[in-house]
Amino acid sequence: MNRKMPVKRARTKQKRLSADDRRSEFVTKATELFAEEGFGGGTRALARKLGVTQPLLYRYFPSKDDLIKEVYRKVYLEPLEIGWEKLLSDRSRPLRERLQEFYEVYTDAIFNRRWLRIYLYSGLKGLDINRWYVGMVKDKILTRILRECRHDAGLAAQSRPSAAELELAWVFHGGIFYYGVRKYIYEAPVLEDKAQMISDALDIFLAGFERMAESATDRRRAPIKVVG
Amino acid sequence: MNRKMPVKRARTKQKRLSADDRRSEFVTKATELFAEEGFGGGTRALARKLGVTQPLLYRYFPSKDDLIKEVYRKVYLEPLEIGWEKLLSDRSRPLRERLQEFYEVYTDAIFNRRWLRIYLYSGLKGLDINRWYVGMVKDKILTRILRECRHDAGLAAQSRPSAAELELAWVFHGGIFYYGVRKYIYEAPVLEDKAQMISDALDIFLAGFERMAESATDRRRAPIKVVG
DNA sequence: ATCTCTGGTGATCGCTCGATAAACTGAGCC
DNA sequence: GGCTCAGTTTATCGAGCGATCACCAGAGAT
C-alpha cells in the first residue's frame, strides 16, 4: 500500500503531533510567551501560538502553574550545560584567560531577551528556584573565581571567601549582568563589543582584588596608585 | 448644640477624606500593591487596602492605566529630589568624597523593596518612561561623573564621554545597582555595610578609570600594577 | 431645619481567565 | 472493514477583572 500523499501533510495545519513533541512545543512556546507577557500571559494566547485549542494544554499539564514550573526548569537549567568547573579551575591556563572565556561563554548563554526576561519575572515572584540560582552563582562561580584569584596571587586558600571579597565579586558579576539587562531589557545602546566590556570589567576587578589582598595584611587602607 | 461625639469618628472607618488626601492615598497604596503584585494587581484589592469600595477609584482616576501612570510619575521622580548637580560638580570637595556621598544618598533613595520592584516591573513593560530614566542616568549621572574624573586626572574636557569610558561607568553603576537587587528583590544575604560596598566599588572604578586614561595615550595597554 | 454639594456605596455589565467534560477524528492493529 | 485508542476540539462553567450608573449620606452654608 502506498503512502497517502505526504504533500497534503504540509498544507494541512500540522496537527496530531506525538505526545512528547507536543509537550515540549508547549514548553518552548510558553517560554516565549511568558518572556514577553510575564506569567500573566493567557493559556488561550499560548494555544494560538501553537495553532491548537486551549483545552489541549490540560492534556499535557495539570494546571498552568505546572507548565510554569516546566518553564522555570528549562530556563534555569539551560545555562548550566557549560562545563564551568573545568573552565574556571583549569590551572594549566592563565587565570585571566580562563575568566575571560568563562564570562564570554556564560553571557552567550544568558544574554538574550528570552532568558533575561524570564529570569527577572521569576525573580520578582520570589520563588525558591530563584534563590537557589543566586546561591549557585555564589557557590559555583564567584567562590570558585575567588579561590582561583587567591591561588594566583599566592595567598593561602580558605574554605569560604570573606564577605568583603565576595561582595567585590558580586559587584563585578552584577556589573556584567547589568550590561545584559541594559541591552535586552531596557534595549538601551551599549558598547557593542561584549568581549571588550568583559575584558575591561576584568581589568578593574583583578586590580581591585590585588589591592584588597594587600590591604588585608596592612590592616589600614592604603590609597590606590596605578603605575603605567 | 453640642458636637456629635467626636469619639465615634475614631471608632468608625475613617471615611470621607478630602479629595486631595484620598487621591494621594490611592497613589501611595497602589504603589505598595503594584510593587508586590505587579501591575496586574486588582482594583478591588487596592480598595480593600484603603478600606473603601472599588468604584471609588473611578471618582479619582478615569482608568486603572491612569492610576498606573501616576505611580510611575511618583516612583521615577522620587529619587530626583536630591541635588545631584551640586553634589557631583562641587569641585571644592575631593572627587572621591563627592562620589561616595552621591552614591550613598542615591542608593538611600532607591534601595528599598517598593522602588526597585516598581522599577523592574515597569522596565519589563518597556515603557518610554523607563528609557527616559536610563537616558537620564547616563546624561545626568554617569556623564557628569566621567567629566569630573577627567578633570580630576588632568585630562582635557570632552563634550561627550567615549563609548569605552561610558561602558566602564555603566558596569560600575550596574554593579552597585545589582547590590540593591540582590538585597531587596532576591532577598539574598549581602554585605550589610552599604557604605563599605560603595567605597570598594569606587576604589576599583577609579583605579580602572586612571588605567584607561593612561592607556589611551599609550595606545597599547600597559599591565596594571597596584602599589600599597 | 432644610438644602446642597460631594465623597462614598450597591448592583451590575461585558469580558477574559483557568479549568472541566463530553464529543470527535484519524492512524494503526486485528 | 471495523475496532481502538490517543490526540484534538466544542461547549461551557464559575470566578475575577475593569468599568458604569443610580443612589446614599453627612458636613457646611443659609
3 state SS for chain A: CCCCCHHHHHHCCCCCCCHHHHHHHHHHHHHHHHHHHCCCCCHHHHHHHHCCCHHHHHHHCCCHHHHHHHHHHHHHHHHHHCCHHHHHHCCCCCHHHHHHHHHHHHHHHHCCHHHHHHHHHHHHHCCHHHHHHHHHHHHHHHHHHHHHHHHHCCCCCCCCCCHHHHHHHHHHHHHHHHHHHHHHHCCCCCCCCHHHHHHHHHHHHHHHHHHHHHHHHHCCCCCCCECC
* Residues A44 and A86 reside in one and the same domain: no
pLDDT in tens, chain B (228 residues): 444 444 444 445 567 899 899 999 999 999 999 999 999 999 999 999 999 999 999 999 999 999 999 999 999 998 888 888 889 999 999 999 999 999 999 999 999 999 999 999 999 999 999 999 999 999 999 999 999 999 999 999 999 999 999 999 999 999 999 999 999 999 999 999 999 999 999 998 998 888 888 776 654 444 554 444
Residue contact A210–B226, C-beta within 8 A: yes
Positions in chain A whose pLDDT score sits under 70? 1-14, 216-228
Q: What is the per-residue pLDDT for B15?
A: 79
Where among B39, B71, B103 does a domain terminate? B71
- Three-state SS at B206: helix
Nearest CA in chain B to A215: B228
Nucleotide nearest to A51 (CA to C1'): D8
**Mutate which: B137, B167, B197, vs A, most A CBs within 10 A:** B167
* Residues A49 and A97 reside in one and the same domain: no
pLDDT digits (tens, 9 = 90+) for B147-200: 999 999 999 999 999 999 999 999 999 999 999 999 999 999 999 999 999 999
Asked if residue B25 is part of any domain, the answer here is yes
Q: Cα separation of B82 and B195, whole Å? A: 18
Asked if residue A198 is part of any domain, the answer here is yes
Q: What is the per-residue pLDDT for B104?
A: 97
Q: What is the per-residue pLDDT for B218?
A: 54
> Distances from the Cα of A195 to the Cαs of A27, A105, B219, in angstroms?
32, 10, 18
* Residues A154 and A129 reside in one and the same domain: yes
* Residues A34 and A58 reside in one and the same domain: yes
| Chain B hits for A166, Cβ within 8 Å | 191
* Residues B99 and B64 reside in one and the same domain: no
Asked if residue B228 is part of any domain, the answer here is no
pLDDT digits (tens, 9 = 90+) for A157-216: 999 999 999 999 999 999 999 999 999 999 999 999 999 999 999 998 998 888 888 776
Residue contact A226–B228, C-beta within 8 A: no
Q: Cα separation of B156 and A134, whole Å? A: 42
Asked if residue A223 is part of any domain, the answer here is no
* Residues A35 and A88 reside in one and the same domain: no
**Mutate which: B124, B133, B194, vs A, most A CBs within 10 A:** B124
CA distance to partner chain B, nearest, from residue A34 (Å): 11
* Residues A149 and A98 reside in one and the same domain: yes
A112: Cβ–Cβ under 8 A, 6 or more apart, which residues? A184
* Residues A86 and A50 reside in one and the same domain: no
The CATH number covering residue A44 comes to 1.10.10.60
Asked if residue B163 is part of any domain, the answer here is yes
* Residues A45 and A139 reside in one and the same domain: no
Residue contact B177–A176, C-beta within 8 A: no
Residue contact A204–B201, C-beta within 8 A: no
| Chain B hits for A123, Cβ within 8 Å | 120, 181, 185-186
* Residues B87 and B176 reside in one and the same domain: yes
Asked if residue B4 is part of any domain, the answer here is no
CA distance to partner chain B, nearest, from residue A59 (Å): 28
Asked if residue B227 is part of any domain, the answer here is no
Q: Torsion over CA of B213, B214, B217 and B222, rounded to 10 degrees?
A: -130
**Mutate which: B103, B119, B200, B204, vs A, most A CBs within 10 A:** B204
Per the rule left: phi > 0, alpha: psi between -120 and 50, beta: everything else, A113 is: alpha
How many domains, in total, are found in chain A? 2
Asked if residue B9 is part of any domain, the answer here is no
A207: Cβ–Cβ under 8 A, 6 or more apart, which residues? A226, B204, B207, B208, B211, B224, B226
Q: What is the per-residue pLDDT for B207?
A: 86
| Chain A hits for B200, Cβ within 8 Å | 164, 167-168, 171, 208, 212
* Residues B204 and B101 reside in one and the same domain: yes
Please, what is the Cα angle at B106 between B145 and B93, to 5 degrees?
50
CA distance to partner chain B, nearest, from residue A211 (Å): 6
Q: What is the per-residue pLDDT for A13?
A: 57
The CATH number covering residue A151 comes to 1.10.357
* Residues A158 and A180 reside in one and the same domain: yes
Contact, A157 vs A147, CB < 8 A?
yes
For residue A52, say whether its CB is under 7 Å from any atom of strand D.
yes
Neighbours of B148 (CB within 10 A): 17
Q: What is the per-residue pLDDT for B221?
A: 47
Q: Cα separation of B137 and B133, whole Å? A: 6
Domain containing B165: what range? Answer: 82-217
